[in-house]
Chain A
């Protein structure tokens, strides 16, 4: 492959390497020359105005969107390479969606065990044991036999997190995980995410929850009009943003 120069060594610290990625939808330019590195164990927080390309960037990482050009390497596997078996990469990258996307025809337990059985080929008993442990961890063990339709938004999102974690992913991606939640349910989801961050999970989080960024993020990335405008550690970014656009955006969303 051409991009063998960026082929990382197994010991390489960068688990996600994004280089010069472009993506357009018709005439809209969603991503313009985006390059980004995410280190193993790092919590990378991506924010910016809507339509800025945050979700598109996330979806490019597990190839739900195909970039027009550029390379993306996840844990040593080039996902932008045509020959890569993308299903293998996706199993290692957990994704949590804004609208949960639980499977409504399956119970909570089945939601969490299905991919374990058919993708990871785990025996049913093992899959169920793991699912129950994870439900315990996200605080809703009693909902194992409920259907998604019987849960509140916060509970649904916690099941979605458990479902992604059950695959033992090396990276967890969150696409605005609290945007569709009622205010009183945001905390229960953020608590679970905080726990993950503390355990050293590599996380890429697209969100507007600045409180979470302050508490958990190692790095913040400001994305606007498809470009990375600024990248900094939270303290620095909140205290003195370097770019005018970042300043302006922060002043609009922070009280």
Chain B
């Protein structure tokens, strides 16, 4: 009786254990072990614990800066991406100019340029507008705005804000290409069907094209988010007290070079690895749906 049941069951396919070992994600295991080691040392060593508590505000700022800049860059990317597929000559050329210029300048130079050239120019412009408004303003609520515009000082614009603007514009150009690719990957018939039902171009984009395109864009957007998280370390050049900058400070404060950079690298790695794991899951789910 028991034997008959045993035979009736589907037999598990036998795979030689050596083959199973080959397919193992060893890199992940090694990472996990190293990670555990570091976590253990943080708990057991005062030096690492000191580094961790010192770096923690920087870690938070890195996350805040990345999230904010990425959200802005998505909006910029959507606008410029729509421009890249637009038949409107002005809109198309402006968007293409933006994408080409940004992609041709190193991100570090862009950040310095935005922080020390564009933002001061913008402040000058606002001062001028405020001055003009003061000359012509008659009503009270406008007067308040005019005063604050005219008296705006370049020092009032926080470096963190400048860094966020710089990162957002820099990544907006890449996001524009992601949007363009996503939109163009949708079959032409979708737009034609939507238009033939009487929808306007923008209604068709909003209800038909973009919802489909965004699904296909999620993995590349996820990768760009990870890239931005790493590139946010560049804003340490603007002395923004994010993770890398605090790493520098911690090193010069304690002369514990080894521990400081170990800790910084480890914190970045934890964030990027968990995010790329998310992107992988997303990609797999997408492949399944299509």
- B198 in contact with A91 (CB, 8 Å): yes
- B196 in contact with A64 (CB, 8 Å): yes
Which residue of chain A is the closest to B203 with respect to CB atoms?
A118
CB-CB contacts below 8 Å: B180-234 with A? 187, 189-190, 192-200, 203, 207-208, 211-212, 215
- B198 in contact with A119 (CB, 8 Å): yes
Which residue of chain A is the closest to B190 with respect to CB atoms?
A101
- B189 in contact with A90 (CB, 8 Å): no
- Once A103-B208, A105-B211, A105-B212 are accepted as A-B contacts, the answer to whether A115 and B198 lie under 8 Å apart by CB is yes
- A64 in contact with B197 (CB, 8 Å): no
- B215 in contact with A105 (CB, 8 Å): yes
- A90 in contact with B197 (CB, 8 Å): yes
- B189 in contact with A119 (CB, 8 Å): no
Task: Using C-beta atoms within 8 Å of the partner chain, give the interface range for chain B.
Answer: 10 to 19
- B192 in contact with A64 (CB, 8 Å): yes
Does A97 lie at the interface of the complex (its beta carbon under 8 Å from any beta carbon of B)?
yes
- A101 in contact with B193 (CB, 8 Å): yes
Partner of A97, one of B192, B199, B208, B211: B192
Does A178 lie at the interface of the complex (its beta carbon under 8 Å from any beta carbon of B)?
no
- A101 in contact with B212 (CB, 8 Å): no
Which residue of chain B is the closest to A59 with respect to CB atoms?
B192
Does A163 lie at the interface of the complex (its beta carbon under 8 Å from any beta carbon of B)?
yes
Beyond the given A64-B195, A101-B190, could you list 9 further A-B residue pairs with CB under 8 A, ordered by the A residue number? A87-B195, A87-B200, A91-B198, A97-B189, A99-B189, A101-B189, A103-B194, A105-B211, A119-B197
B residues touching A (Cβ–Cβ < 8 Å)? Answer: 187, 189-190, 192-200, 203, 207-208, 211-212, 215
A residues touching B (Cβ–Cβ < 8 Å)? Answer: 62, 64, 87-88, 90-95, 97, 99, 101-105, 114-115, 118-120, 160, 163-164, 167
Interchain Cβ contacts under 8 Å between A and B, 29 examples: A64-B192, A87-B195, A87-B199, A87-B200, A88-B198, A90-B196, A90-B197, A94-B196, A95-B193, A97-B193, A99-B189, A101-B187, A101-B189, A102-B193, A103-B193, A103-B194, A103-B212, A104-B212, A105-B211, A114-B197, A114-B207, A115-B198, A118-B199, A119-B197, A119-B199, A120-B198, A164-B196, A164-B197, A167-B198
